[in-house]
Chains A and B, each alone.
Chain A
Amino acid sequence: MSYQIHIDGFVALYIFMVTAFAGWVIIGRVPAILHTPLMSGSNFVHGIVVVGGLFTLLSASTPLEQTIGFVAVLLGAGNVAGGFAVTQRMLAMFKTSGHGSVHATHGVRHAKSAKHAAPAAVKSISPKKT
């Protein structure tokens, strides 16, 4: 028995089509107020390229492949870590009035303050076409 994954042309196109559609729907729900964290969060998500980089580097058999593979993992890891750090920091800052959090002013806040705050009615936008 083998668990080797094999994706051919049309199967790939089906995957791409369904994913693109899902992505469009998922992202369309995000309110404009979160567009910067969203962009940074999706930036983090494509950091999964580091997995491809690891595969390439581990299968490398020439110095050239090893060098480029090393660069791939280095850049991919940077994408993942940087994307996560920035997104997490930004999201931790969002909070509502109510809950007394208004009195907090500057400095680092914890993600908890936003999580436990009273849910505000945040209108989600839908993808509008011109």
Chain B
Amino acid sequence: MLITISQLIIGSVDLTAAFLLMFGLWRMASPVTAPSGILVAGVGMLAAIGASFLYVFTVDAAARPHLPLNIGLAAAALIIGAGVAWWSGRRVAITAMPQAVALFNGMGGGAAGAIAAVELFGGQTHGATQLIVTLLGALIGSISLSGSVIAWAKLDSLLKKPLNLPGLQWFNGLVLLLGVLVGGYMVYGAAGGGTPVIAMSHLIEIFFGIALVYGILMTLPIGGADMPVVISVYNAFTGLAVGLEGFVLQNPALMIAGMLVGAAGLLLTLLMAQAMNRSVAKILFASFGPGKKRKQGAIKGSLKPVQASDAGIFMRYAKSVIIVPGYGLAVSQGQGKLYDFVKLLQAAGVSVKFAIHPVAGRMPGQMDVLLAEAGVPYDIIVQLADINDEFKDADVALVIGANDVVNPEARTDKTSPIYGMPILNADMAKKCYVVKRGDGKGYAGIVNPLFYADNTFMVYGDAAAVCTSMTEAVRGLGAPAAAA
């Protein structure tokens, strides 16, 4: 009786939770409803976690003597895991969001892998189908765990350079093949194909080892600017792994939530790849190597440096300014100072808009979050497709810490590695200021002809410092009363 009631309650709570999680994501369709969406999803999640303690009434006889310890362990793991993550999630800087998301995502993958490990070590899988699904979930979850940790280290600048060894991709392919072979051998052995030469428990260990190593090797060669795609791929991976383990545990809530995220991750990955005009396979398995030297056509014009104060004052008397923020702005944490400057311009009657490229920053939409943190209202933040025609009418395009996303070569030069990538038309504005720390090339390693154009002027310096000098210069003019 107790078992039936428990099953009934768990079943209905999980059903409700699955609905609330879906509904929560549904409400993410607009910045107005999104904050309530995450709360709705949170309620569903809490209910599901609470209800899962009713499993104590349904466990089989073998586990019953261990229940008191297991309950204690479960409570401890929940409190420690949630406590530490909540604490760090609350205080992580907005600029460090990508690595935080990568880390939390890896945790989910690790959890899915660990569940698979328990099922495998305990020999609780029945039949070849379940075993294959368990192994698949274990493989994907483990790759997501170790890959996300590497992605986190890269985003946190603990790992600086992408690893570029000749033949690495072939080696990685062999490692993955080996993992699949070990998994296949386990299925073969379990399906009655004779006693394995190596004990099953060792095979499981080897399998997980290979999966974890593959995740590391797969992520190491990928460079910083491709991280939006990597994070979104691993997000999809974890979702998929959770969905598969949900099938093994016969829990439809896990299957639905996992698959939902799997589809979401896939869609975001494709959108990112499309914005870079590169295939997902190329991003993951081929890096922009310095190996191939390409003759870039001679660039006409010269770099024309100007003072930040002059640039600031010019914009003060312009009619319309479009700002193109890039990763450099995030690095210098200059978003607040930039918005101070923008407010001065707005007070002086200048129309200011922000133009966002889909792959600006280190994760999809990072610039939007960065500007939101500074207090920039989202109705003056405009995406590429909606603003690109406005550049030709703008007096000034202010490019801050962005490079490849405004490189006109993508439109004209067929031999360029970024040819075909949609770019922001900053070069079409009447005047273009580029805030940059030095003459360095962009991530793609190519010279940007925009910087040499006749109407482009370079403002050298850290983005935050430049914004401060521009603000001071405009204030020095004796700004109109409203600007205070």
Contact = CB atoms under 8 A, between A and B. Distances in A.
B351 interface: no
A98 B336 CA distance: 19
B267 A65 contact: no
A96 B255 CA distance: 37
Contacts of A28: 267
Given A15-B255, A66-B73, A106-B374, A48 B48 contact: yes
B200 to A, nearest CB: 13
Nearest to A62: B122
Interface in B414-428: none
Contacts of A42: 25, 235, 239, 260-261, 264-265
A43 B263 contact: no
A37 B85 CA distance: 17
B108 A85 contact: no
Given A20-B263, A46-B261, A34 B28 contact: yes
A34 B111 CA distance: 27
Nearest to B379: A120
Contacts of B252: 5, 7, 15
Interface in A79-130: 79-98, 101-102, 104-106, 111, 114-115, 117, 119-120, 122-125, 127-130
A76 to B, nearest CB: 4
Interface in B353-373: 356, 358, 363-366, 368-369, 372-373
B206 interface: no
Nearest to B86: A81
Interface residues of A, number: 107
B209 to A, nearest CB: 15
B81 A36 contact: no
Contacts of B243: 16, 19
B264 A79 contact: no
B332 interface: no
B90 to A, nearest CB: 5
A43 B63 contact: no
Contact of A114 (B31, B85, B108): B31
B247 A12 contact: yes
A23 B114 contact: no
Interface stretch (B53-61, B165-173, B286-294): B53-61
A87 B85 CA distance: 13
Given A7-B250, A79-B107, A93-B369, A40 B97 contact: yes
Contact of A45 (B73, B111, B257): B257
B26 A26 contact: yes
Contacts of A53: 77, 111, 114-115
A61 B55 CA distance: 14
A15 B256 contact: yes
Interface stretch (B36-44, B298-306, B388-396): B36-44
Given A9-B129, A33-B381, A115-B35, A20 B22 contact: no
A60 B70 CA distance: 7
A52 B254 contact: yes
A26 B377 contact: no
A5 B256 CA distance: 14
Contacts of B114: 53, 56, 68-69, 71-72, 75
6 contacts: A30-B29, A44-B38, A46-B238, A58-B52, A79-B108, A95-B377
Given A58-B71, A105-B336, A120-B378, 5 more contacts: A32-B383, A42-B260, A48-B17, A49-B115, A90-B372
